[in-house]
Amino acid sequence: MNSNTNTIYCVVFFLFFLSLAFVETKNLESESSVVSESYVLSCGAQIESTDINGRKWIPDSKLVTPSGVSINGTAMHQDPSLPSQVPYMTARIFTSEAAYNFNVQPKKRLWIRLHFYPSSYNDLNPNDAFFSVIANGFTLLNNFSASITAEALTQAYIIKEFSFLPVLNGNLSISFKPSPQKNGSFAFVNGIEVIPMPDIFEPANLVGSEQGQTIDVRSSLVQTMYRLNVGGQYIPTTSDSGLSRTWYDDSPYMFGSAYGITSEAGKSLSIDYPPNMPEYIAPRSVYRSARTMGNSSETNQNYNLTWTFEVDAYFTYVVRFHFCEIEQTKINERVFDIFLNNQTAQPSVDVIAWAGSRGVPVYRDYAIYVNDSRIGCAKLWIALHPTVSSKPENLDAILNGLEIFKVNDTHGNLAGPNPVPSEMRQEDEELLYSWL
Q: Answer with the one of 197, 225, 243 that is the final residue of a domain.
A: 197
**Mean pLDDT of the chain, nearest integer:** 89
- The CATH number of the domain holding residue 391 is 2.60.120
Q: Answer with the one of 145, 179, 197 that is the final residue of a domain.
A: 197
Does residue 382 belong to any structural domain of this protein? Answer: yes
Same-domain check for residues 187 and 246: no
Does residue 434 belong to any structural domain of this protein? Answer: no
Same-domain check for residues 157 and 269: no
Does residue 299 belong to any structural domain of this protein? Answer: yes
Domain that holds residue 313: 203-407
**Average pLDDT, integer, range 112-123:** 97
**Average pLDDT, integer, range 378-394:** 97
**Average pLDDT, integer, range 126-142:** 98
Same-domain check for residues 109 and 189: yes
Nearest to 205 by CA among 192, 222, 217: 217
Does residue 320 belong to any structural domain of this protein? Answer: yes
Same-domain check for residues 270 and 144: no
- Count: domains in the chain: 2
Inform me whether the pLDDT recorded for 85 exceeds 70: yes
Does residue 423 belong to any structural domain of this protein? Answer: no
d(CA 134, CA 124): 23
**Percent of the chain clearing pLDDT 90 (strictly above):** 83
Inform me whether the pLDDT recorded for 263 exceeds 60: yes
Q: Cβ neighbours of residue 159 under 8 Å, at least 6 residues apart? A: 113, 114, 115, 116, 246
pLDDT by residue (tens digit) across 2-44?
444 444 444 334 444 334 333 333 333 333 333 348 999 999 9
pLDDT band at 434 (very low <50, low <70, confident <90, very high): very low
Half-sphere exposure of residue 333: CA atoms within 13 angstroms, side-chain side:
15
pLDDT by residue (tens digit) across 300-354?
999 999 999 999 999 999 999 999 999 999 999 999 999 999 999 999 999 999 9
Task: Please give the backbone phi and psi of residue 238, each rounded to the nearest 5 degrees, phi first.
Answer: -75, -10
Nearest to 135 by CA among 91, 170, 182, 101: 101
Same-domain check for residues 213 and 186: no
Same-domain check for residues 60 and 121: yes
Same-domain check for residues 102 and 143: yes
Q: 61 in helix, strand or coil?
A: helix
Nearest to 303 by CA among 402, 395, 230: 395
Same-domain check for residues 240 and 160: no
Does residue 236 belong to any structural domain of this protein? Answer: yes
pLDDT by residue (tens digit) across 272-310?
999 999 999 999 999 999 999 999 999 999 999 999 999
**Average pLDDT, integer, range 264-279:** 97
Q: Answer with the one of 197, 223, 253 that is the final residue of a domain.
A: 197
Same-domain check for residues 224 and 122: no
Does residue 399 belong to any structural domain of this protein? Answer: yes
> Which is more confident, 69 or 15?
69
Same-domain check for residues 193 and 237: no
Beta strands in 341-399 (DSSP E): 343-349, 362-370, 377-386, 398-399
Same-domain check for residues 401 and 254: yes
**Average pLDDT, integer, range 95-119:** 96
